[in-house]
Amino acid sequence: MPALDDYVIGQDKAKRVLAVAVYNHYKRLRHQGKTDTSIELGKSNILLIGPTVVVRRSLAQTLARVLDVPFTIADATTLTEAVMLVKT
């Protein structure tokens, strides 16, 4: 996605995966409610994992800005702490 290239340096695989996921999402929305059964688009979620928050946040914010959609940050620290407590 060229717009991501303008704001994020490197991370080519992550940018490609995000671009494909966004394309499939909008493709699914465009075909929603149509009776054509030859098209099957599965739902998918994206989980960005990495050492720095800056790159993940930059990718998500840039994507939201380009698509003109709202952007929200949710902190899952308490959830990860709970999972870690269960595992030990």
Nearest CA among 10, 22, 78 for reference residue 46 = 22
- 82 or 60, which is more confident? 60
What does the pLDDT read at residue 88? 45
Dmax (CA) for the chain in angstroms is 50
* Helix (H), strand (E) counts: the chain: 4, 0
The residue ranking higher by pLDDT, 2 or 84, is 2
Is it the case that residue 83 has pLDDT exceeding 60? no
The DSSP output letter for 68 is T
72's CB contacts (< 8 A; 6+ apart) are none
User: pTM for the whole thing?
Assistant: 0.61
pLDDT of residue 2: 73
